[in-house]
Structure 1
Amino acid sequence: MEPITLVIATRNRAKSSEIRTLLHGFPVEIKDVADFGPIPEPREDGQTFEENAYKKALFTARVLGLPALADDSGLEVEALGGAPGVRSARYAGDQATDEDNNRKLLQAMKGQTHRKARFVCVLSLAVPTGPALTYEATCEGEITTEPRGRFGFGYDPVFYYPSAGKTFAEMTPEEKAAVSHRGRALRELRDEFDKVLVWLRQRLAEEKRLLSEGICMHEHP
């Protein structure tokens, strides 16, 4: 059976390599947007992680004419009403660094005893005509009072995972992947990827039929 080409909506080679390893053995060829040269950037202006993941996946699928997988993730802190949420990457400003965001978060949490937080990851797998599959996973933890650890990225140095007794930044990449929100969402996708392939082949066959009939469809899931 001919493999399906699946585009990961990222230029991060480490991320696409991780997914390629995860889906090894399935009849699928993994590419990312860096394999296609310059393409426009999608607008991430959704109000939820699911909206942004879908926007990225659908935009990439329509630009390239191939199924696309995108993720959107972030940190929700209970004491801050769920902030930084969908603005996690831009919490301290559009050009903010990870250090800027962590500094602002710790300042906002100064003196706060209730420090419960969670990471959220939503995966969206879309085809060019619009339909998509969605996977979501979370990871519960607490916000530290100061950064700890040298691994990871983003809010990892200030996100403490009680079961391990470490922040994400104190874990090895393998330790983090075993418990993280993103690792959990990806494993959920992998565990039912046989069904996903059936869904993809049906959607792509339908798209081919519509194109042969000269019909242009812009569906939404």
Structure 2
Amino acid sequence: MTRIAQDTVIVATRNKGKVKEFAHAFAAIGKQVKSMYDYPDIPDVVEDGETFFANSYKKAKTVALALGVPVLADDSGLCVDKLNGDPGVYSARYAGEGATDQANNDKLLRALGEWTEGEDTEQSLLSPAQFVCTLVLFDPDTQEHLEASGQVEGWIIAEPRGLGGFGYDPLFFLPEFEKTMGELTVDEKQSISHRGRALEQLLKKIEK
């Protein structure tokens, strides 16, 4: 049976935004979070999979086997309808390896150009899009894993709004909130985000 550590959850990421979100989520159930910042000797895992699951599974398994304890990994990204699902698994490095959030956002807007859609909002809606997340928890003792996925629908807008979140959050507009993901509070984002939904599903599986 796949298990999770009793007090501390190790997440295979060096993404500070993800670390912050996981720490917030797990604090609500009394668990601390450690990340790859706490294990600097473990090299980065090359994310060469063609799916979110493939990358999550590789990261979780590699780090879990290295540390000898269960490890949680996340792979997530932005899938834009008008770009045939891009940037997808390449979201974090859309503008190149080591790209900043700003560089990725700028490339996204250039790729969408001047195309707009929708007349029922004051926003300049460039394309429908989805944030997608796949989580994998790998247990090295049993060699078993649990998988959970989450998705949230929205729109890419032409001008970034909000200083919260990270990545493409300031460009991801949620009509039901009339806000971008970058304008939500941490609790609001956790309740509806792709990562929040995937984590909720994963925790239900663990409880079983």
**Please, what TM-score do these two structures have when normalized by structure 1?**
0.79
The structure with more helix, counted as a fraction of residues: 1
Secondary structure, in 3 states, of the residue corresponding to 1:142? strand
User: Is the Cα contact below 8 Å between 2:146 and 2:202 reproduced in 1?
Assistant: no
**Which whole-Å deviations, capped at 9, do the CAs of 1:126-169 have from their partners, x for residues lacking one?**
12264211100100000001111111110011100111011111
Secondary structure, in 3 states, of the residue corresponding to 1:92? coil
Give 2:102's match in structure 1, choosing from 99, 102, 107.
Answer: 99
Runs of 5+ in structure 1 lacking a partner?
A: 196-221
User: Is the Cα contact below 8 Å between 1:118 and 1:138 reproduced in 2?
Assistant: yes
Equivalent runs, 1:1-221 vs 2, <5 Å: 3=6, 6-11=9-14, 12=16, 13-24=19-30, 31-114=34-117, 115-128=127-140, 130-195=143-208
Q: Partners in 1 of 2:159 and 2:13 — Cα distance? A: 31
Q: Percent identity?
A: 47
CA 1:19/1:95 → structure 2, altered by over 3 Å: closer, same or farther?
same
Whose RCO is larger (CA < 8 A, sep 6+)?
2
Secondary structure, in 3 states, of the residue corresponding to 1:59? helix
User: Is the Cα contact below 8 Å between 1:135 and 1:185 reproduced in 2?
Assistant: yes
RMSD: 2.1
**Which whole-Å deviations, capped at 9, do the CAs of 1:82-116 have from their partners, x for residues lacking one?**
00000001111112110111111111112223510
CA 1:4/1:186 → structure 2, altered by over 3 Å: closer, same or farther?
same
Q: Partners in 1 of 2:9 and 2:188 — Cα distance? A: 27
Shift of 1:30: 5.1
Paired residue total: 191
**Which whole-Å deviations, capped at 9, do the CAs of 1:40-64 have from their partners, x for residues lacking one?**
2111110011100101100111111
User: Is the Cα contact below 8 Å between 2:73 and 2:136 reproduced in 1?
Assistant: yes
CA 1:142/1:87 → structure 2, altered by over 3 Å: closer, same or farther?
same
Q: Which residue identity lines up with residue 99 of structure 1 in the other structure?
A: Q
Shift of 1:4: 7.4
User: Is the Cα contact below 8 Å between 2:164 and 2:184 reproduced in 1?
Assistant: yes
Q: Partners in 2 of 1:155 and 1:191 — Cα distance? A: 28
User: Is the Cα contact below 8 Å between 1:6 and 1:66 reproduced in 2?
Assistant: no
Q: Which residue of structure 2 lines up, in the alignment, with residue 201 of structure 1?
A: none
Q: Partners in 1 of 2:199 and 2:110 — Cα distance? A: 33
Secondary structure, in 3 states, of the residue corresponding to 1:178? helix
CA 1:29/1:154 → structure 2, altered by over 3 Å: closer, same or farther?
closer
Q: Partners in 1 of 2:36 and 2:82 — Cα distance? A: 37
Q: Which moved more, 1:33-42 or 1:73-82?
A: 33-42
Q: Partners in 2 of 1:190 and 1:23 — Cα distance? A: 10
CA 1:103/1:192 → structure 2, altered by over 3 Å: closer, same or farther?
same
Shift of 1:33: 3.5
Shift of 1:171: 1.3
Q: Partners in 2 of 1:23 and 1:43 — Cα distance? A: 31
